[in-house]
Amino acid sequence: MKVSVGHGADRRFFVGLARAFAGALIFAMPMLMTMEMWQIGFYTEDWKLLLLLVLAFPLLVGLSRYSGFKPTFGLADDIADALVAVFVGAAMSATVLLLFQVIGPQGGLREAIGKIALQTVPAAIGATLAREQLTGAKAQEGRREEREPGFAGELFLMGVGALFLGLNVAPTEEPILLSFMMGPWQEIALALLSILLMHGFVYAVEFPGQHRPVEGATIEGVLLRYTLTGYALVLLICLYLLWTFGRTEGMALDEIIGACIVLGFPAAVGAAAARLIL
C-alpha cells in the first residue's frame, strides 16, 4: 500500500514537471524566436541580468501562491515550486536555443549564459502558470482559503501580467520607434485607452473570471483604487524593462515617458488579463 502511494506521488510530480515544461515552452516561444532577445542577452550588463533574475524569484514564489504547477500549502512549498520553475525555464530555454544554434560552441560561455538567463524569466512564469492554464484546474483548489488575493494580491497579479507581456515587446525597437512617431496628444490618448481597457476587461465586458466591486464601492473608487493604481504599476514595470534592456540610454525624459506609455499599452492588457485568468 505504501509503495502504491509513493508511486502515485512520484507520478503526480513528474506529470506536474511535464506540464511545467509545456507551460514554459508555450509561454516563452515568442521570445525564444525573437532576435532582439538573443542580442540583449549577449550585450546586457551582467549585473542587470542578475538583478532581473533576483527580482523574478520572489515574483515566482508569490505567483506559486496563487497558480503553481502543483498545489502548495506553505512558504517552503512555494519556494520549492519557484526553484523548480526556474530550473525548468532554464533547461527548456537552453535546449531550444541550442537546437536553434543561437548558443553553442561557436559562442562563448558568457554569451550562452546571458541568452539563457534572459529567456529563463518568461519561461519560468509559464512553468508556474502551467497547472491552472493547461489543466483547467483552479490554483486555489486544495490550497488555503486565504490565498484569494486582496488588494495587494490584485496589484501583484497585475504586475505579473504586465511583466510577462512587457517582456514580449520591450526588447524590440518598435516601442521606441512608435513613441518617436507619436505626438503628445496621441500618447495621452493611448494612455487613456490603456486605462479604459484595463478597467473594462476586468469590470465591464463580462469575461469569465470578471471581478465584481465590493458592495458599496463606487465606480470612481474602483477606478482610482485598482485601475489607476494598477496602471501606475504598469508604467513603473515598463520603465524598469526599458532600462534593463538599455532602451532609455541617451533619451530625454519626455521620450522615456512616451516609450513607457507605448510599452504600457500591451503591458496594461497583460495586467488586466492576469486579474481575469488568475
Domain boundaries, the chain: 1-139, 149-278
Given this model, what pLDDT does residue 38 score?
85
C-alpha cell at position 158: 497585475
Confidence label for 218 from pLDDT (cuts 50, 70 and 90): low
3-state secondary structure of 27: helix
Given this model, what pLDDT does residue 134 score?
54
Residue 49 · residue 114 · CB < 8 Å: yes
Given this model, what pLDDT does residue 35 score?
87
Confidence label for 241 from pLDDT (cuts 50, 70 and 90): very high
Given this model, what pLDDT does residue 12 score?
73
Residue 236 · residue 268 · CB < 8 Å: no
pLDDT > 90: percent of the chain: 38
- pLDDT of 192 above 60: yes
Q: How far apart are CA 237 and CA 241, in angstroms?
A: 6
